Structure 1
Amino acid sequence: MSPTTSTILISSLATGTIITMTSYHWLLAWIGLEINTLAIIPMISTRHHPRSTEAATKYFLTQAAASAMILFSSTTNAWYTGTWDITQMSTTPSHILLTTALAMKLGLAPVHFWLPEVLQGSTMTTALVITTWQKLAPMSLIFMTVNNLSPTMLMTIGLFSSMIGGWGGLNQTQTRKIMAYSSIAHLGWMSTVTSIMTNILVVNLLIYLILTTTMFYSLTLSKSKTIQNMSTSWTISPMLTTTMMLTLLSLGGLPPLTGFAPKWLILEELTMQNLILLATMMAMSSLLSLFFYLRLTYTTTLTLSPNTTQTKHKWRFKPMKPTFPLTIFTPMTIIMLPMMPTIIY
């Protein structure tokens, strides 16, 4: 892809998200989402491979359907209330349609089927963009309309997403599909706490963006597309392997690391709201995700690949991408837990 094309697509991605995040009219929000979708599709299909073309088609159809549903829900709301204001989504059919459409845009269960397939057909960099930047615009719409959305529906979707994100990742061998199910599970936790406390939602989203960026960047540097590739990543850089291990444990939500903070805060808030059963089920579902993170950790750091021909060749290739972003994101992924009280309160 030429530098001019890349610049146009990246600036369109940024513009689309900013338009959606700063708009108070439903038509402007819809335009921002459409710009986002049309900018990411050439980035997905840039490899000119049948798999990437299929991924781009699936992404386009899903996002177009979700955008049409958002437009339909806002039109229905305008028909009943006479206003196109985003914060005035007061009618029941409109906000149910809107929640379903935004869940489809984010890849929440039960409308999550497109996300693992699209990530598998994309490059690592495009998969990173889809799982991080592309979540900002729909999340901002949820944030703006949260007072009118159904808490029961959001919590049910969140619980389903957390469980399916854990179950779906158990039998995967491709790292991009594992990260897709990880994304579904994390967004499920965010959806659960949305209607209770929005500042925890924002903190959770920021931590999710940091952890996912670190993990994808580590996978890109070590060229690990499958679990088998991860077992030979120590030949490129032992330090990078250690970083990947700590990032995976942080994604799993183990206590000394940053990833523990959002789960801790959400479970605390759910129990304070007397939602004991929901909090218990969310905690149990996180064990499923933790299992496949631990499996990746074990494969990456505690096993040596018996295949010597791969290792002979793999150590010769130096990382082609700059490692500076990893030096910024890694400390935040590992040691940001003590800062949480100052961020929240």
Structure 2
Amino acid sequence: MNPQAKLMFALSLLLGTTITITSNHWIMAWAGLEINTLSILPLIAKSHHPRAIEAATKYFMTQATASALVLFSSMTNAWHTGQWDITQMTHTTSCLILTSAIAMKLGMVPFHFWFPEVLQGSPIITGLILSTIMKLPPIALLYMTSHSLNPTLLTLMAIMSAALGGWMGLNQTQIRKILAFSSISHLGWMAIVIPFSPKLTMLNFYLYVLMTSTIFLTMNVVKVLKLSTLMTSWTKAPALNTMLLLTLLSLAGLPPLTGFLPKWLIIQELTKQNMAPTAIIISLLSLLGLFFYLRLAYCATITLPPHTTNHMKQWHTYKPTSTLIAISIVMSIMLLPISPMIPTIL
């Protein structure tokens, strides 16, 4: 793809995201979502492979339906209350339609079917954008309307997302599909706490973006797309693979790594809200995800390919020197252990 075209689409993505997260009016928020959708489609389909074209088509149809539902819910709310302000979503039916629309945009259960397929058909960097930046506008809309949303519906969708995200990821061999189901599982953790503590949801989202970006960037450097290829990457970049192991364990939420922080705070908040059974259920469901994170980590570092004559020649043939990956890996692993030091430094 032409570099100028890539730049134009990237700027359009930035523009659409900025419009949505900064607007107070539903029409402007909807316009930002549409700009985002139209900007990402060429990036998904840029390889012209039939799978990429199929992924772009699925993405367009799903996002167009979700955007129409967002517009319909805002119009219904304006019809009953006379308010177009995003924070004034008070009509009950409009709130239910909006929750369904945003769940469809994010890829939460039961509207999750499109997300693994689209991610599998996209290039790695486009997959990174789909898993991180493209989720910011819908999460921002959830944040702004959190006081009006139905906690029971969100809790139900969150538990289903955590369960299905962990369960469907168990039998996958394609890394992008594993990360797609990981994203669905993390969305469950974000959705379950947003009616009670929206800021905690945003913290969870930011840390999820940090850890997922690290994994996608590392995959892009070592050029791996499936588990069998991941097994042979140790001989090319052993240090990077070791860091990938720790980042995966952080994404799984193991202490004392960064990923444990949001899970710990969410369980604490749910307990304060007298939702201890819900906290126990979603904690147990996260063990399903832990299995496939450990499987990825096992393939990345512990499993070595069969020895051949040229096996030792592969050592250190490629030395990645990405400053961005280095910084993101350190933050993905060490943010929780060093957090007590941050107030003293500041």
TM surpasses 0.5: yes
1:132 paired residue number = 132
Unaligned runs of 5+ in 1: none
Counterpart Cα distance in 1 of 2:259 and 2:206: 11
1:228: which partner in 2? 228
Gaps of 5+ in 2: none
CA distance in 2, matches of 1:310, 1:94: 64
Aligned to 1:5: 5
Match of 2:49 in 1: 49
Q: How does 1:297-312 map to 2 (within 5 A)?
A: 297-306=297-306, 308=308
User: Shift in Å at residue 318 of structure 1?
Assistant: 3.4
Q: Secondary structure at the match of 2:111?
A: coil
Q: Distance in 2 between matches of 1:2 and 1:313?
A: 36
The one-letter amino acid of 1:330's match is: I
- The match for 2:202 is 202
Distance 2:80 2:36 in 1: 29
Q: CA deviation at 1:338?
A: 3.4
CA distance in structure 2 between the aligned counterparts of 1:307 and 1:68, rounded to whole angstroms: 56
Deviates more, 1:296-305 or 1:32-41: 296-305
Give the Cα–Cα distance (whole angstroms) in 1 for the partners of residues 242 and 160 of structure 2: 32
Are 2:327 and 1:328 equivalent residues in the alignment?
yes
Cα distance in 2 for residues equivalent to 1:28 and 1:101: 16
Distance (Å, rounded) in 2 between the aligned partners of 1:249 and 1:340:
18
What amino acid does structure 2 have at the position aligned with 1:20?
A: T
Q: Which residue of structure 1 aligns with residue 267 of structure 2?
A: 267
Instruction: Output the CA distance in 1 between the equivalents of 2:242 and 2:258.
Output: 16
| Partners of 2:321 and 2:75 in 1: CA distance | 47
Cα displacement (A) at 1:140 = 0.4
* TM-score for both structures, normalised by structure 1: 0.95
The answer to which of 41-50 and 324-333 deviates more is 324-333
**Residue 25 of structure 1: how far off its partner (Å):** 0.6
| Counterpart mapping for 1:282-301 below 5 A | 282-301=282-301
- One-letter amino acid of the structure 2 residue matched with residue 187 of structure 1: L
- Counterparts of 1:304 and 1:81 in 2: how far apart (Å)? 63
Q: Does 1:64 align with 2:73?
A: no
Query: Residues 229-244 of structure 1: matches in 2 within 5 Å?
Result: 229-244=229-244
Residue 168 of structure 2 aligns with which residue?
Answer: 168
Q: 1:133 is matched by which residue type in structure 2?
A: I
Could you say what the CA RMSD is over the residues aligned between the two structures, in angstroms? 1.9
**1:235 shift after superposition:** 1.5
The corresponding residue for 2:191 is 191
Q: CA deviation at 1:298?
A: 1.2
1:20 equivalent in structure 2: 20
1:230-281 deviation digits (Å, cap 9, x = unpaired)? 1111121110110110011001111010001111111111111111111111
Residue aligning to 2:109:
109
Contact 2:108 2:184 in 1 (8 A): yes
The Cα of 1:308 is off from its aligned counterpart by 4.0
- Deviates further, 62-71 or 229-238: 229-238
TM-score by length of 2: 0.95
Q: Which stretches of structure 1, 4 residues or longer, exceed 6 Å deviation after superposition?
A: 341-344
Distance 2:242 2:313 in 1: 21
- State the identity %: 52
Quote the Cα distance in structure 2 between the aligned partners of 1:95 and 1:339.
40
**Cα offsets for 1:267-318 (capped at 9, x unmatched):** 1111111111111110110000000001111111111112749968966863
SS at match of 1:47: coil
Aligned to 2:250: 250
Letter matched to residue 145 of structure 1: T
Mapped contact 1:257–1:336 kept (Cα < 8 A): yes
Q: What is the number of residues matched between the two proteins?
A: 343
